[in-house]
Structure 1
Amino acid sequence: MLRSEGREHASCSMCFQAEPCYRCKDCLGRALYCSGCILATHSLHPLHAIQMWNGNFFESTSLKALGLRVQLGHKPGDPCYNPDRSFDDTFVIIDTAGIHTIALDFCGCEHAPSQFQQLLRFSWFPATTSRPRTAATFRLLEQFHLLSLESKISAYEFYTALSRLVDNTGLVGLKDRYESFLRITREWRHLKMLKRMGRAYDSHGVQATHEGECAVLCPACPHPGKNIPLNFSEIREDKRWIHAQFVAIDANFRLKRKKVSKDSVDPSLSKGWAYFVEETAYKDYLSNRSNIPQEKSTCSSHLAVNRADILRNHGLAATGVGTVDCARHNMKLPSSVGDLQKGEKYCNMDYVFVAAMRHLHSPILNVSYDIACQWSKRFWDRMATFPPHLQLDTKTHVTFFVPKFHLPAHIQACQTRFSFNFIPGVGRTDGEVPERGWANINPAASSTKEMGPGSRRDILDDHFGHWNWKKVTNLRNSLREKLRHSIPKRAELQDALEQLEESITADHASKLAEWRQQVSEWEDDRSRPNPYEHKGGTLTMAAVRLELAKEDASDLLQGIKANVHEDCSMSIFISIGLELEELQRRLKRDKAEKGLHATDTQETRLIERSSSLQRRIDGWVKLQQLLLPMITAERTKQVAEMDSMASPPELFDLMLPSKVIANLPCDEKTLRIEWRLRLAQAHDALNSLRSNLRAQSYIFKFKDQNLRGQGANTRAQNTLKAIKARIDTAANKYNEARSALENLAPPLNETSWSSTLHPLLARDIRGMSDLLWGETEGTRKISWIWSMCGAVYDSTDEAGALEDIRIEWCKARARTNRWAEEVELLLEEMRRTIAFFEWEAARWNTQAAEFSCNDPLVLEGYHAYALRQASLRHALAASCRTSWSDMIASAAPLV
């Protein structure tokens, strides 16, 4: 590296005579040239970086300083040569090698095109059409365009890097052309979009472009007249579900925009031609509904619904964007993006939805939305408020879903009614595709939030188009991989279902037929009883205590049983024992957390609580001597063996029946009472555990997104510490309850409870969205604490056991059907993709044939581009056929 700082040749590498004083940093090798030869070799490379030997070291110079002038149009020696030198020679060119000042001569002959046209024909993009003095090379613009789409680099960062390529010291004083560069890149993006969509071939001009016409379409989705019959009635009725349109709605609050500029100053170039809705009509609609309050959620407390009217938007013109995506292939739909002004309000999302649906023509629509259970209410009433050209056809069959990952956060009724797993005709669609796309676009938020409204919409349109195109070119691989995975899964689940049905048929053949009819009726009409839901209520401690109290009262009235103690029955006694256990756990936890330097007040409170607990335990032990006399001897034996006064109350052994059953006899009635209370205690502990885990997840997210500074983060950490203590307490409570159930189960002949109440391991105590080490979103499994059903109250109840079997059979049937549907859907999507590519190829061939122009050079360029695009589509179709042929052959339907 140091050797290259000096000269390696004694004479010019070209003429071999003059002293070499110049070298080029961009040319291959380290050849040295004299001034005449360096100009001769670089007449076609005017933007190369030149260095000059000053006698001691190489320093930067330029070809312009050596006398090189760039001539556009006619060159010296041409009969029409007439250079236009009516301005100074300080033309700035932005290139991949840096920012250069050159001496430029335009052609000044009689028939010369305008200056900006001369630059364009030289592959230099001018900053203006009126006497341009700055331009960027096409090569640079291609490079920056792709870099910004892939790495989300901002124009400022890229331009600064180019400046430092030329001068990394700040001593040269380069001309600042940053604003010109911004204008050039924005126009470049827009023109590339129009070119790729074939808008130059429209005889009515670019202004005839319709809304959404410049969006990259999904080839695998149904497009009437392009890849499916134009008349939907031509498709077999039992196969129409295959041609349903799957869409997913979501909002992104990362893509904010500050109150910078306005539409009148910075309008969009595309005017709603791609993914953003047309802004004027959108805002007119919103202004008429700004005072309509948001309907509150009747499901879980969805912030997107309940806080849409009160979310803060200080200093923001847009708090985010709402979008509609293709739910099967993760592509943005035409006219499917709109700014949100204040949260995820229905009026915003409704408009974006209907604007996107104008471009879809399938009479079957499957809509996924994380708040679909609320948004679907009064859906058709809200559709009626739109102008006729935006209204959804009332004959459209719309089915609403909640994405699979979001579904566990909803109430139990929503988890079956809006589930992709149970409703037929959807395959293995999960509805989560918008979430996967946000990871790609979110890094652009840091630069787009500072932009004016039009610039931001144009930039995001460009990013969405690039995302769609990458998905289109990857369909060959993505659909193949999905089918490769689905075919064996379909067979595997089909075998599992048949084995399950064989075991059911052996004992309940008539029931199986009844269940088939019930689930089929629910699939046809979801207002009928849901076969996937337990008919029993939720098990809680309060409910069990109430039932035990009613049983005690009934026994007393009938004279079946007399209480040993007038104020305390056996059920009350054991309930109090469980309460004492809880108090012991809390006191033990608080003593462990008091630290080495507890204050006098803290010490006093702990002593008072300890004394109070000791008094309650003493009273309870006296009742125990009356109600469970067989335990008295065992306790007396323990007291004799150790000093009871040395044992603090939080460590006192209460000796409940579940703890002594191995050594002492207990009547079945007493054991059954504790069993029922312990069962409810376990469920209460899980409810508390889930509630605190949800709170912990929310605070983590809120802290990461909103809190800055040591004070705010310290307060958040204290809150999280308190929640973590409650999580640990709930987990300990569950483990103790389950341990008691394990002791009580054998003498009571209870067996089915353990299939619901599993051992609680450390990896099970996590939020719904938390991943274990090595898991990905595609392989993630929710902890069993979020997916468990209610415990069967009495395992000896045949109806309860049959209900569990019915629900398991329904789910196994649904899994099998969904995988079978997935294979059918994928095969159809492959066919549609190939058909769409062929349709696009035919469209480009037609445009090439129909376009006419008087200028033969322009005509040849138009024809060449259209034919190249047609050839590309034919190649994509051929590649898909070759890649999929073996998989399609192996996907024969199961008999």
Structure 2
Amino acid sequence: MEVDDEEPSPDFSEETRSKHAKLLADYSKIFPVAAKLLMMKEADVRIGTPCACGNAIREVRCLDCTQFSPLCRSCWVNAHKHHPFHWAKFWSHEQGYFVRQDISVLLDSDYGIPLGHDGEHCPKALKAILMTVVDLNGVHATKITTCQCGDNGRWRQLFDADLFPATVVEPQTAFTFHLLQDWQIMTLQSKITTYHYIRALRRLTDNVFTGNVPDPYKQFIFVTRIWPLLEAKKQFGRLHSDGMNELFPHRPKGNLMLYCPACPEPDVNMESGWERTPHLNSLKRTVDGNFKTRNYDKKNNTNDVSLFGGRAYMPSEQRYQHYLETVLQLQKEKMTCNHLNVANSVNHAKFKNQSSVDMTYGERHALVDLAMELDLEAAIFDKGHEPNCIWSYDNMCGLTPNISQCWHKYHKCFAYQIDKSRWLIPACHIKNHGPGCVPLYCYVYKPCTSHFHAEMVEYGWAVFNGVGPSVLQMNPGHRIDMLVIHYGDWNWRKTVGLARQLVKVLNHAKKQYIEKRNHFISLCELNESRVVAWSAMDRSPHVDPRNKRSVMSVYEHNHEKAPILKALVDRLMSSKDTITVSSGDVKVGAAVSWLQEGLALAQLQACICRIAKTCKANPTTEVRSRCTKLSTRIDKWHKEQTRFMCSIALQLVGQSAEEPKDQCLFLPSDFSASDRQKFHLLGLGNKQVQMLEVALGDIINTLQTTCKTLTAAYEHKIKHARGQDANTRLNQEIHSIEAKWETLIADYMLFRDALHALGALDEVKWRPLMVKDTFRKSTEKRRTPGDSQVTEGNLWNMTRVGFSTSDPKIAGGLLFEHGNVGEDEDEDDEGGDTSEDPIFNINDLKYFV
């Protein structure tokens, strides 16, 4: 659920700038007058004139009231009996300016703010008592008089006057309710600390001699612990009998948690017979750790406990310590997926979910189990009638192998729910896992998950991370209470925006309906002959019995070692087979070596043409040098060409007069089908098809790695580049990576066009690639609202053998089985899973050269 807590981006449009310029011009005309009026506020011509009562002169005014005329002292006090904490601006004739004073010092008599009698003075009142009262406008050293007509003590009379006493017995400090409400909203929204809040109030009282202002910091800390608890009890209906328990019998009794009104809850928002539609009523829960709300292991104040006492989003301290002592799974676990070591990275953190636990021993599986158990305890279904639950966790591949055994041993009450649960890894995190995790834990391969990308738990991290500096030094109980009120506020803000967000999502779904429907129809038409066979396949993933670390799935891409061009050329070079050319039969190895050089020359020609477009008027030294070297290589290649294509020798005459980048190489792909047959080029054409298909796979593999590296380079520059030298160096590297990225796309289209010219192009297998097709969601950035609605480019649906829906075998009559080509090559050089490939050399721009 999205929450509107982000600061809007500044608008730098021309229209906005012109509006700002006009406003500034308008205000500049009134600046002199406004400055003079502001200065006049420091005096008042009515001071010294007779007051309306006729008993004294006007000498006190109030700036906290709007358009309040000066009065005499008695009239001012009488007018402020219901606003006793407004500051009195008293005109000092000796000093010649207004002096700010409390209401209690205006009258010569022993006046104190009266409690009881609706602001009127109690006839039985005793001598006024000195007190410190903190309000929104500062800290008041004032006096109060208590009512003696009844039996109510001082703290009760203060409470009735909307003043929260710091102590129960003979309180000397109190805080107004308005102040506590303001503090709660300010700390929840802006994450201001209690210390800075009180410091601001003291400066508001006296911004010069701030040290002379009473410091109620210690009392305020205590009161702000109690106030949120009372507010929570009031909001959740826990102050009067058991009415809420009767209305919501499935919820835990006495809980202080805010339940989502949109989540399934029996007898509240679910129809009878909901069990017949489990795909609509499954529960989706996410688990994750946040490493920003740390807490020092403080040895003082060990008796400080949470006032919420395990009734909200975290367990009680007694239960938590007992769990740590009894569960023996807190030792360091070994990760099953080599691509994720989050559990070993940090030792102290905080869970962010409806149920949370302190990660005293890091993000260990036992602590994850405890957080999950707390969430199940807050469930709102009768035992044995719960819908199936879908759990999401970024280390799910390490959690699930032993989870059933652990729950049947340590969490027996809910083990039956775990046994029927389903497991996911969030959509963004799973990209950093091994290939076997994708079919097992990715939501796109799970039925009835409703696009559950499972990244929602991270949406609140930007808010909760701001609390980290505040809770770092707090005592354990105080820290828990502070986190609880922030969790509750986050849930409240989501609830407030729920209707607006649902309307937004519904409107977006209506817009996407036609697009997705048309796409689905196109897929059905494209794969009409395959649908029957696909429907008969078993879609559940299985662990490979031969290799326990790999997974077998109909959705799994072919991660076996695909042939690479080098392995193909080496094999054909050592072959004793022959092919027929215009001059007779020649060895396959010689023809393949010549074709490999021809494809490299085609790449160089295309590269020089791209560079030359940027410097048409004045070719650079680099372009001229490249052209010279290219001309030498083409001449040498043409001399050998007559060995295989003697029938076109006459067409090579006059080629040297043209620019090297514009010369026709007369590869088999440069001829029409009839000319290839006429000039006996069919054998060479078949070999070129084989090489082009494998070369396209090489380009796809390297292009994917290049895009990942380019994204990481951008993020590295933003986070770590400081200063001109570092920025210049990183910019140069990024430009080199971008050049390689553009070259790979151009080479892919060049070879694809060559396949098309040879009549061997599979349009489904080798689809066109453009810049937009290389778009990929960054794994370095956190997920943001709307990311789940953004799709990645076509490049990420391809492997070395083309699109995943195509036949994994290489076209063109390649006569070898997988595993025989390049079997003695290094594994990292043979491709397969692109996530295993080493980072490329940014200076290596060619693959045939």
TM-score by length of 2: 0.73
1:797 to 1:447, Cα distance in 2 relative to 1, 3 A? closer
- What SS does structure 1 have at the residue aligned with 2:105? coil
Where does structure 1 lack aligned partners over 5 or more consecutive residues? 325-332, 591-602, 802-895
Q: Which residue of 2 aligns with 1:355?
A: 374
- What SS does structure 2 have at the residue aligned with 1:101? strand
How far has the Cα of 1:393 moved from its partner?
1.7
Contact 1:271 / 1:278 at 8 angstroms: preserved in 2?
yes
Q: Which residue of 2 aligns with 1:423?
A: 446
1:32 to 1:464, Cα distance in 2 relative to 1, 3 A? same
How far has the Cα of 1:283 moved from its partner?
4.7
Question: Which among 41, 52, 59 is matched to residue 79 of structure 2?
Answer: 41
Q: How many residues align?
A: 736
- What SS does structure 1 have at the residue aligned with 2:146? strand
How far has the Cα of 1:248 moved from its partner?
1.3
Task: Supply the distance in 1 between the matched residues of 2:517 and 2:315 (Cα, whole angstroms).
Answer: 45
How far has the Cα of 1:23 moved from its partner?
0.1
Alignment of 1:466-615 (within 5 A): 466-486=489-509, 493=516, 497=520, 501=524, 508=529, 512-518=531-537, 521-522=538-539, 530-533=553-556, 536=558, 542-547=563-568, 556=577, 568-575=589-596
Q: Which residue of 1 aligns with 2:403?
A: 379
Q: Which residue of 1 aligns with 2:228?
A: 189
Contact 1:658 / 1:740 at 8 angstroms: preserved in 2?
no
Question: Which among 676, 683, 689 is matched to residue 697 of structure 2?
Answer: 683
Question: Which among 396, 414, 421 is matched to residue 398 of structure 1?
Answer: 421
Q: Which residue of 2 aligns with 1:71?
A: 114
- What SS does structure 1 have at the residue aligned with 2:752? helix
- What SS does structure 2 have at the residue aligned with 1:274? coil
Q: Which residue of 1 aligns with 2:165?
A: 126
Q: Which residue of 2 aligns with 1:321?
A: 350
* Pairwise CA RMSD: 4.9
- Say whether 1:338 aligns with 2:348: no
Q: Which residue of 2 aligns with 1:176?
A: 215
How far has the Cα of 1:339 moved from its partner?
2.8
How far has the Cα of 1:77 moved from its partner?
8.7
Q: Which residue of 2 aligns with 1:329?
A: none
Question: Which among 18, 36, 39 is matched to residue 56 of structure 2?
Answer: 18
Task: Supply the distance in 2 between the matched residues of 1:460 and 1:276 (Cα, whole angstroms).
Answer: 9
Q: Which residue of 1 aligns with 2:140?
A: 100
- What SS does structure 2 have at the residue aligned with 1:198? coil
Alignment of 1:883-894 (within 5 A): none
Question: Which among 703, 720, 739 is matched to residue 728 of structure 1?
Answer: 739
Question: Which among 181, 191, 196 is matched to residue 142 of structure 1?
Answer: 181
Q: Which residue of 2 aligns with 1:850?
A: none
1:514 to 1:72, Cα distance in 2 relative to 1, 3 A? same
How far has the Cα of 1:738 moved from its partner?
1.7
- Partner AA of 1:357 in structure 2: L
Question: Which among 27, 30, 40 is matched to residue 65 of structure 2?
Answer: 27
Q: Which residue of 1 aligns with 2:667?
A: 657
1:210 to 1:613, Cα distance in 2 relative to 1, 3 A? same
Task: Supply the distance in 2 between the matched residues of 1:102 and 1:563 (Cα, whole angstroms).
Answer: 114
How far has the Cα of 1:619 moved from its partner?
7.4
- Say whether 1:6 aligns with 2:43: yes
Alignment of 1:756-775 (within 5 A): 756-761=766-771, 764=774, 767-768=777-778
How far has the Cα of 1:262 moved from its partner?
5.9
How far has the Cα of 1:42 moved from its partner?
1.7
Q: Which residue of 1 aligns with 2:15?
A: none
Q: 1:280-322: per-residue Cα shift (whole Å, max 9, x none)? A: 44355456547633333436x1242xxx32x355xxxx3x322
- What SS does structure 2 have at the residue aligned with 1:83? coil
Alignment of 1:801-816 (within 5 A): none
1:609 to 1:79, Cα distance in 2 relative to 1, 3 A? closer
How far has the Cα of 1:381 moved from its partner?
2.5
Q: Which residue of 2 aligns with 1:808?
A: none
- Partner AA of 2:748 in structure 1: A
Question: Which among 89, 103, 115 is matched to residue 154 of structure 2?
Answer: 115
1:286 to 1:631, Cα distance in 2 relative to 1, 3 A? farther
- Say whether 1:215 aligns with 2:257: yes
Contact 2:260 / 2:491 at 8 angstroms: preserved in 1?
yes
- Partner AA of 1:760 in structure 2: M
1:550 to 1:686, Cα distance in 2 relative to 1, 3 A? closer
1:798 to 1:294, Cα distance in 2 relative to 1, 3 A? closer
How far has the Cα of 1:4 moved from its partner?
2.8
Contact 2:701 / 2:799 at 8 angstroms: preserved in 1?
no
How far has the Cα of 1:52 moved from its partner?
1.6
How far has the Cα of 1:677 moved from its partner?
3.0
Task: Supply the distance in 2 between the matched residues of 1:30 and 1:437 (Cα, whole angstroms).
Answer: 45
How far has the Cα of 1:38 moved from its partner?
1.1
How far has the Cα of 1:517 moved from its partner?
3.8
Greater alpha carbon shift after TM alignment, 561-570 vs 724-733: 561-570
Contact 1:539 / 1:791 at 8 angstroms: preserved in 2?
no
How far has the Cα of 1:618 moved from its partner?
8.5
How far has the Cα of 1:398 moved from its partner?
1.0
How far has the Cα of 1:26 moved from its partner?
1.1
Contact 1:248 / 1:367 at 8 angstroms: preserved in 2?
yes
How far has the Cα of 1:16 moved from its partner?
5.0
- Say whether 1:83 aligns with 2:109: no
- Partner AA of 1:571 in structure 2: V
Task: Supply the distance in 1 between the matched residues of 2:665 and 2:300 (Cα, whole angstroms).
Answer: 74
Q: Which residue of 2 aligns with 1:639?
A: 656
Contact 1:19 / 1:34 at 8 angstroms: preserved in 2?
yes
Percent identity reads: 22
Contact 1:658 / 1:741 at 8 angstroms: preserved in 2?
no
Q: 1:124-173: per-residue Cα shift (whole Å, max 9, x none)? A: 11222343222110011111212222232332333233223222333672
Q: Which residue of 1 aligns with 2:818?
A: none
Task: Supply the distance in 1 between the matched residues of 2:509 and 2:194 (Cα, whole angstroms).
Answer: 43
How far has the Cα of 1:32 moved from its partner?
0.5
How far has the Cα of 1:61 moved from its partner?
2.1
Greater alpha carbon shift after TM alignment, 551-560 vs 443-452: 551-560
How far has the Cα of 1:437 moved from its partner?
2.2
Q: Which has the higher contact order (CA 8 A, sep 6+)?
A: 1
How far has the Cα of 1:31 moved from its partner?
0.4
Contact 2:717 / 2:730 at 8 angstroms: preserved in 1?
no
- What SS does structure 2 have at the residue aligned with 1:522? coil
How far has the Cα of 1:21 moved from its partner?
0.9
- Partner AA of 2:736 in structure 1: A
Task: Supply the distance in 1 between the matched residues of 2:365 and 2:376 (Cα, whole angstroms).
Answer: 16
Where does structure 2 lack aligned partners over 5 or more consecutive residues? 1-36, 246-250, 545-550, 612-620, 812-849
Contact 2:541 / 2:553 at 8 angstroms: preserved in 1?
no
How far has the Cα of 1:244 moved from its partner?
1.6
- What SS does structure 2 have at the residue aligned with 1:92? strand
1:119 to 1:469, Cα distance in 2 relative to 1, 3 A? same
- Partner AA of 2:42 in structure 1: E
How far has the Cα of 1:795 moved from its partner?
11
- What SS does structure 2 have at the residue aligned with 1:218? coil
Contact 1:686 / 1:730 at 8 angstroms: preserved in 2?
no
Q: 1:169-208: per-residue Cα shift (whole Å, max 9, x none)? A: 336721122232222222211221233233334689x9xx
Task: Supply the distance in 2 between the matched residues of 1:96 and 1:634 (Cα, whole angstroms).
Answer: 93
Task: Supply the distance in 2 between the matched residues of 1:51 and 1:623 (Cα, whole angstroms).
Answer: 103
Task: Supply the distance in 2 between the matched residues of 1:160 and 1:629 (Cα, whole angstroms).
Answer: 93
